[in-house]
A and B are shown apart, each in its own frame.
Chain A
Amino acid sequence: MNPEQILFYLFGAVSLIGAIAVISFRHPIYSALSLIVTFFAQAGLFVLLGAHFVAAVQVIVYAGAIMVLFLFVIMLLNLGTLSAKGAISGKLKGFAVILGILLAIEGVYIAANAISDPPDASAEAATESVNTTTYTIGELLFNEYLLPFEVTSLILLAALIGVIVLVKRESQAEN
């Protein structure tokens, strides 16, 4: 086994264990912390794939900004006492897990078979040659994908206005 494979299995196992921990912990704080572990492991996988910029953005935006939002909301609502009655009944849970296993089998089958058309040798050659730097991504982002980039700024503006309206209506209602 070469080092890349060892790292792939390590990061993959950590991200899977973290993801299972997210859905199995009772307390939302533990779920949030497990989610951070999963995000870090996925950043490691991105580094293995040669996507260093995406890995950095993953750590800064996801593990940094978004998870801090989650933790702040959990802290604000003080959910620890409420979450105990948050689970569904055993029969429904078993049904959901069976459906999930079916979905996993389908997903693995598709992932293992659908992309097997191109010969592996040429695919491996392509993976060795590609080296996506921040420069490459920036060039694509501001030339080919300029319109989607600007639309993204509109989405962020809409989210900003939406949050302000939501909070404002509440403070008026309290008055």
Chain B
Amino acid sequence: MSLESYLILSALLFTIGVVGVLIRRNAIIIFMCIELMLNAANLAFVAISRSLGEASGQVFVIFVMAVAAAEVAIGLAIIVSVFKHRQTINVDEVNSLKG
């Protein structure tokens, strides 16, 4: 398969992630959509890495995965503490910085 088909698939997956962030108000699902976008970027990295015949892109994917793991741990801890304070994780209702 050509590089373009992988990049088009990656763009479509990224767009689905963006639309998910826009239309969903559940903080956990917004987080999952961020993971979708990170994965779309990973797909583009690996596809370009193969097309250039170099392994650097795959090393970047491993860095992205490490950052995503850290981000999920922190983000879910924040969601749990927000839920304990407010009894909701609807991002429209959590709109003030006051605790």
Contact = CB atoms under 8 A, between A and B. Distances in A.
Interface of A: 4-5, 8, 12, 15-16, 19-20, 22-23, 28, 31-32, 35, 38-39, 42, 45-46, 48-51, 53-54, 57-58, 61-62, 65-66, 69-70, 73-74, 76-77, 79, 82-83, 85-88, 92-93, 96-97, 99-100, 103-104, 107-108, 110-112, 115-116, 120, 123-124, 126-127, 129-130, 132, 136-137, 140-141, 144-145, 148-149, 152, 155-156, 158-160, 162-163, 166-167, 169-170
B55 to A, nearest CB: 4
A175 B22 CA distance: 38
A137 B58 contact: yes
B77 A162 contact: yes
A130 B15 contact: no
B73 A96 contact: no
A170 B81 contact: yes
B26 A83 contact: yes
A163 B7 CA distance: 35
Contacts of B17: 19
A61 B58 contact: no
